[in-house]
Amino acid sequence: MPSEFMSGVNLGGWISQYWQASKEHFDTFIREEDIERIASWGMDHVRLPLDYPVIESDLHPGVYLEEGLHYIDKCLEWCEKYGLGLVLDLHRAPGYSFGTLDTNTLFDDETDQQRFVAIWEMFSKRYRGKRDQLWFELMNEVVDATSERWNRLAHRAIEAIRAIDPERIIVYGGNHYNSIDELRHIELVSRDERIIYTFHFYKPHLFTHQKASWSEVTKLYNRTISYPGRFPGLSEFLDGHPEFGGGENDLANTFMDKALLERYLQPAAEFMEQSGRKLYCGEYGVIDEAPLTSRIGWHRDVVDLLRKLGIGRACWSYKEMNFGLVNKAGRVIDPELVRIVSTRE
């Protein structure tokens, strides 16, 4: 089995989901001192989200941009210097972004699929000498009607990577934004122990994304929610907005606590027991709109539950991004929150 990454943080907002695609931003948002600090906290890896336009222009497919690849190279160099691993996550791919579902073409367009596979072939050749300290995560938060098309493309990319680098650790997630409930629909790669399966954990969404402007239900519900605790006025809200009822929002009579989180994590426990495969939680976190004591309490309980299951994790996110451990100036939001998410043992 591959060596494990147990405690890490995402570098969101740097070369993915950036506010501006400028040299000034890329040169300053994350620096060597940030990686040194993350290592000093006791973490063992970072997850590096990447949007493909940083390394490839739509005007010149297959021509990879050294000025963009430079940032991955530097991050890997810094991680090696300070003893951290790195998960390279393709956050946005040719023809696919989890933020523009209506215009995605990846699963319909063979040219986009060829570009997707070719990116991973390029990375496989470029980083062939970097093994256990660098994992490849195929794509972030796939959303499609069913899992079949993503499973086919993922297996195609894995086969291409394996042809170049048979030992590379590959991270492979499921449908519906890497939902823990979709682990059962991932088509496992038989006899390949160097694949780690992944999910994201932001449950319950009404709490972790409270007041988030990009989520229609949280924007309209617009309540401050404490953890542990209940969901104030939720019955009345759902009566007025029945389109949001059911599923994970059916929490009007629910007390949110560690026991609820443990139930939400049960699909992960079942996946590992039934498949014998390792899992990695590539994202988890609580928005900074939540009360700080509630953020701390939720993280403490989630980290404890993941550790007991033996699941490695990377919190979202290091800097800003509405979920940051540090603010724009690099100041730590709360030392106790940092201590909790950095805990390995």
Residue type, 213: S
Give, in degrees to the nearest 5, the angle at Cα 271 between 266 and 274. Answer: 120
Enumerate residues 6+ apart whose C-beta is below 8 A from 156.
Answer: 113, 117
Known catalytic residues are: 141, 283
Q: How many residues does the chain have?
A: 345
DSSP β-bridge partners for residue 9: 46, 315
SS (H, E, C) the chain: CCCCCCEEEECCCCCCCCCCCCHHHHHHCCCHHHHHHHHHCCCCEEEEEEEHHHCECCCCCCCECHHHHHHHHHHHHHHHHCCCEEEEEEEEECCECCCCHHHCCCCCCHHHHHHHHHHHHHHHHHCCCCCCCEEEECCCCCCCCCCHHHHHHHHHHHHHHHHHCCCCCEEEECHHHHEHHHHHHCCCCCCCCCEEEEEEECCCHHHHCCCCCCCHHHHHHCCCCCCCECCCCHHHHHHHCHHHCCHHHCCCCCCECHHHHHHHCHHHHHHHHHHCCCEEEEEECCCCCCCHHHHHHHHHHHHHHHHHHCCEEEECCCECCCCCCECCCCCECCHHHHHHHHCCC
Give the closest residue to 297 by CA, choosing from 345, 342, 337, 250.
337
Tokens 């060829």 correspond to what residue? 114
